[in-house]
Amino acid sequence: MAVNLDKALVREKIAKRAEREIENGFYVNLGIGMPTMVANYIQEDKEIVLQSENGLVGIGRSPYENEVDPDLINAGKETVTAAVGASYCSSAESFAMIRGEHLDLAILGGMEVSETGNLANWMIPGKMIKGMGGAMDIVHGAKKIVIIMDHVNKHGEPKILKECSLPLTGEGVVDRIITDRAVIDVTDNGLVLVEVAEGWTVQEVVEATGAHLQVSENLLSATF
């Protein structure tokens, strides 16, 4: 049965599930938009470092109203807090960390993902784009790339496709996709459905995916 949840609740649900990808000791980059929400759900027993392209190493949760510092922002120009022990560096040093493959994980948003792990996430059709940001560096520098996004676009069309129709950010870079409906792994043998979200069936997920989707023998249902 299809689930009809408030958009904010859906984004929260995806962000909470994405947090489970972060392991203790990881250095992590969170992309702009929905990925930044993941910082609000980091478990207290995890010692991790969130890194931003604009030079903040040690991002904390989103600030309460009385904590907002307009000079303390992430790469998406959203106000953030600094965790205990945070440090600041130039954007050049930050990108040296990324290009030097010092990030264990990057959680990014996506417009489209192909069955071979190609990612399109920097150009929104019909909207003015200031630039592609740091995603092209991140997808090649981080050791693991997890994409979080809605399973279908606002027209109900699949965002997971045989081939991306939008300009690519990177080819063969995606390891895992987390949507409001499922968790899908990108493997050498194609896309594999490993988890189905509460309220959705395997058949509904398969029908909403624009590429061949294998179902894991160890499929987990209603995990988030």
Question: Kind of pairing, strands 190-196 and 160-161?
Answer: unpaired
DSSP one-letter code for 171: S
The region, left, alpha or beta by phi > 0 then psi within -120 to 50, assigned to residue 121 is alpha
Q: What are phi and psi of 138, to 5 degrees?
A: -65, -45
Asked if 19 is an active-site residue, the reply is no
Residue type, position 112, single letter = E
Q: 210 is written with which tokens?
A: 């624009």
Give CA–CA dist 28/57, Å, rounded.
Answer: 10
Residue type, position 48, single letter = I
Q: What are phi and psi of 148, to 5 degrees?
A: -120, 135
Cβ burial, residue 54 (10 Å; 0-12/13-18/19+): middle
Q: Catalytic residue among 19, 21, 53, 195, which?
A: 53
The residues annotated as belonging to the active site are 53
